[in-house]
Amino acid sequence: MLLEVKNLKKQYGAVAAVKNVSFQVERGESVGLLGPNGAGKTTTVSMIVGLVTADEGQVLLDGQPITSDTDMRKALIGFVPQDLALYDEMSAQANLELFGALYGLQGTALKDAVQRVLTLVQLADRRGHKVGTFSGGMKRRLNIAAALLHNPKLLLLDEPTVGVDPQSRNAIFDNLEQLRASGVALLYTTHYMEEAERLCDRIVIVDQGTVVANDSLRGLYQRHGASNRLAIELAAAAPGDWLTALRAVNGVMRAELRGQTLNVEVRALADDVPEVLTCVKQHGLTVTHLASERPDLEHVFLSLTGRSLRDP
């Protein structure tokens, strides 16, 4: 196991930032740490990288706790802080050289590493420019590059796409998928559903300092009532008691008619859709179009906590 987080707890005065958080990340696995503002994500991440001392609990890297500030096993982690941690006054290259040196890189090894990450995030042509002159998206990319110089086994990203335009976000995601494919494990903190859905094998949902779910995407959807939604367009609006019959069909959780569109929620797409269509047909209705919507984490979170993820 690459990373084991066991029963972490951190109290700030009256605020219990982290109450009880445990999860694991395997080699090469990519895990999303999901939760609303103030859930304790950053605090958890800070305890993992040793910035904050946990009140209780343990962090094991490769099965061993980190014992000191200078423990070289800290280099297993590449840390991308939530804030842009870059020196605006220095060039991209100078920034990277500094951060590489902190992990013991020197000489040509350092030069090569700088070149490699600059190429990865497509900033090689801007290497000599001061970071202060970079756009927000470029800074975000460099912020990630700075964590990759020493070839970490685990990349720990704390909301790496905050305030990023869609184009840069895509670029970042391409980079992360590339890294993931090359075997780097990711621990990805966010409150954007679609990011976690796109990138993560497994999702750990935290709320108010505790883990409320820890599962694969599929498992979460299945377990937490996230339904598959169907939008069935009918040839003509035909209200009637057939709706009651449809709601009685096994697997149908909800059915509503709005104009000519029939919205149906089913438990399992493959099993339930044929039955829904049969029922509709039996009542003499003509289907002109059928679409299904993917389930999402927003629903999972809502069902877990009774609150929406975006505005706590």
Partner 1 sequence: MSPVLLSLVRKDLRLFFSDRRSVILSFVVPIALASFMGAITGGKGSDKVNRVSVLTVDQDQTELSAKVMKNLAGDPGLEAAVSELAPARSLVRNGKVPVAIVIPKGFAESSARAFFGSGERPVVTLFTDPSHATEASMVRGILTQHVMQAVSTAAFNGHQGAETIDSLLADVEDAGAVGDPALRDMLSGISRWQHQQATQPKPAPNEETEKGGLQIPFETRVEALAAEQGESYDGYAHSFGGMGIQFVLFASIDCAVALLTERQRGLWRRLRAAPLSRSMLLLSRAISGAIIGALILLALFGFGAVVFHIQVSGSLLGLLMVCTAFALMASTFGLLVASLGKTPQAARGLSVFAVLVMVMLGGAWFPAFLFPTSVQKLTLFAPTRWAMDGIDAMTWRGLGLEAAVLPTLALLGFSVLLGTLAVSRFRWEAD
Ligand X SMILES: Nc1ncnc2c1ncn2[C@@H]1O[C@H](COP(=O)(O)OP(=O)(O)OP(=O)(O)O)[C@@H](O)[C@H]1O
Q: Residue numbers of the site for partner 1 (CB under 8 A)?
A: 46, 49-53, 68-75, 77, 79, 81-87, 89-90, 94, 97-99, 101-104, 106, 146-147
| Separation between Cα atoms, residue 257 and residue 259, nearest integer Å | 6
Stretch that binds ligand X, among 41-49, 109-117, 132-140, 172-180 (CB under 6 A): 41-49
Both structure tokens of 144: 């990630």
74 interface partner picked from partner 1, ligand X, Mg ion, none, CB below 5 to 8 A per type: partner 1
Please, where are the H alpha helices in the chain?
41-49, 92-102, 107-120, 136-145, 166-181, 193-199, 217-223, 242-247, 269-282, 297-305
CB of 312 to Mg ion, least distance (A): 13
| Separation between Cα atoms, residue 25 and residue 69, nearest integer Å | 22
| Separation between Cα atoms, residue 107 and residue 112, nearest integer Å | 9
In order of 12, 90, 105, 114, 207, the CA distances from 135 in angstroms are 35, 15, 28, 20, 33
Residue 234 β-bridge partners: 287
Residues 42, 93, 95, 227: which binds Mg ion (CB under 5 A)? 42
70 interface partner picked from ligand X, partner 1, Mg ion, none, CB below 5 to 8 A per type: partner 1
Q: Is 48 in the site for ligand X (CB under 6 A)?
A: no
29 interface partner picked from Mg ion, ligand X, partner 1, none, CB below 5 to 8 A per type: none
Q: Is 224 in the site for ligand X (CB under 6 A)?
A: no
Does residue 44 contact residue 5 with C-beta atoms inside 8 Å? yes
x-marked contacts with Mg ion along 50-89 as a string, rule CB under 5 A: --------------------------------x-------
Does residue 35 contact residue 46 with C-beta atoms inside 8 Å? no
103 interface partner picked from partner 1, Mg ion, ligand X, none, CB below 5 to 8 A per type: partner 1
x-marked contacts with ligand X along 10-29 as a string, rule CB under 6 A: --x--x-x------------
Q: Is 57 in the site for ligand X (CB under 6 A)?
A: no
Residues that bind ligand X (CB under 6 A): 12, 15, 17, 35, 37-43, 191
